[in-house]
């Protein structure tokens, strides 16, 4: 049984930058690269295997043909998608639907529940989480009246912060922010507002009615857990556990032992370097621990990782 190392897929965006190259050493397609799809089996960005007998195969192929590697979990698609997002400029003000709305209106897609671990943020930086409307009627009034300053809830952000973002929550990453995003395997985003900026001489499409349909009001912030975990040789904590995923953070200085008892585990190494059971890893390595792997010995210096798995029903 081997760890499954993945080759990321990169996306150029109007708001992207070069930090995926500068900070992580990735070979990016250009200096406006906004997203690294690090662990993904989505049709819009399907990662390939870097090792094992399945080298060169896509993650979606592996899911379809070797479900035993994922604990024979049920489902027609790999459930999670892990990204690193480099926001050189502000992303649009947006919202995601839940599973029921997406299934009905987006050709059977999953909705999108997601969370952000802040890898870096500029001094005095902010993000958008939530809105200030008292009810759904006021949501529609503020959006159609373009009362953006009144509507948007902007909060300060710093390196190491963590946010859970449920479907129906208005949100936006602001310029100067670098994040790791764990989310459902979905690419459905409704733009509420995009600052009237142009792409190729034209405004980007907005999704005003869909946004009004799915925004929840009044806004209620999701609560992160930050529960300490007992992992021998590591500082570890559970950041959140929701119906779609559980996300944890661990830092290893020396040697630690992880006992995996999940169908599979996604791991992103976000700082330092070292090894997992002798397999070299460093900042920017992404991998999946397959089913029945058991214990894993991690060795490293300042080896910081975010790992996630599906929450068992």
How far apart CA 129 and CA 221 sit, in angstroms, is 8
- What phi, psi does 206 have (nearest 5°)? -105, 165
Say if residues 224 and 163 touch (Cβ distance below 8 Å): yes
Name 94's Cβ contacts closer than 8 Å, sequence gap at least 6. 170, 171, 172, 189, 190, 191, 192, 211
Coil, strand or helix at 302: strand
* 3-state DSSP assignment of residue 282: strand
Q: Closest by alpha carbon to 301, among 236, 247, 248, 256? A: 256
Which entry of 147, 191, 197, 204 is annotated as an active-site residue? 191
**Angle at 279 (CA atoms; ends 3, 114), nearest 5 degrees:** 50
Specify the 3-state DSSP secondary structure of 82: strand
Is 197 annotated in the active site? no
Measured distance between the N- and C-terminal CA atoms of the chain, rounded to whole angstroms = 26
Per-residue CA distances from 95 to 13, 98, 102, 168, 261 (Å): 18, 10, 12, 6, 34
User: Which stretches of the chain are DSSP H helices?
Assistant: 19-22, 59-65, 99-105, 136-144, 148-151, 208-214
CA 175 to chain centre: 17
CA–CA distance, 6 with 11 (Å, rounded to integer):
16
Q: Which residues are marked as active site?
A: 191
């Amino acid at each position: 049984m081997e760890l499954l190392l993945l080759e990321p897929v990169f996306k150029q965006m109007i708001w992207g930058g070069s930090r995926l190259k500068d900070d992580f050493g990735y070979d990016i397609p250009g200096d406006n690269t906004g997203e690294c799809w690090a662990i993904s089996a989505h049709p819009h960005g399907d990662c390939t295997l870097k090792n094992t007998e399945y080298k060169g195969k896509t993650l979606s192929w592996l899911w379809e043909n070797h479900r035993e590697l994922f604990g024979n979990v049920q489902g027609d698609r790999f459930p999670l998608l892990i990204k690193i997002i480099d926001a050189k400029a502000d992303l649009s003000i947006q919202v995601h639907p839940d599973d029921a709305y997406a299934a009905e209106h987006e050709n059977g897609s999953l909705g999108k529940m997601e969370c952000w671990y802040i890898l870096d943020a500029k001094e005095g930086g902010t993000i958008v989480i939530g809105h200030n409307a008292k009810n759904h009627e006021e949501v529609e009034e503020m959006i159609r009246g373009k009362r953006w300053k009144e509507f948007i809830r902007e909060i300060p952000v710093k390196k190491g912060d963590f946010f859970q973002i449920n479907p129906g929550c208005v949100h936006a990453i602001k310029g100067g922010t670098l994040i790791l995003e764990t989310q459902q395997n979905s690419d459905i985003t409704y733009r509420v507002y995009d600052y009237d900026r142009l792409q190729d001489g034209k405004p980007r499409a907005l999704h005003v009615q869909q946004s009004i349909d799915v925004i929840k009001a009044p806004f209620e912030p999701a609560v992160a857990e930050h529960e300490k975990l007992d992992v021998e040789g590591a500082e570890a904590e559970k950041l959140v556990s929701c119906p779609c995923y559980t996300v944890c953070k661990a830092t290893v200085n020396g040697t630690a032992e992880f006992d995996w008892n999940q169908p599979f585990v996604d791991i992103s190494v976000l700082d330092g370097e070292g090894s997992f059971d002798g397999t070299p890893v460093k900042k920017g390595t992404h991998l999946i621990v397959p089913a029945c792997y058991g214990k894993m010995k991690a060795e490293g210096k300042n080896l910081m990782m975010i790992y996630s798995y599906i929450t068992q029903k």
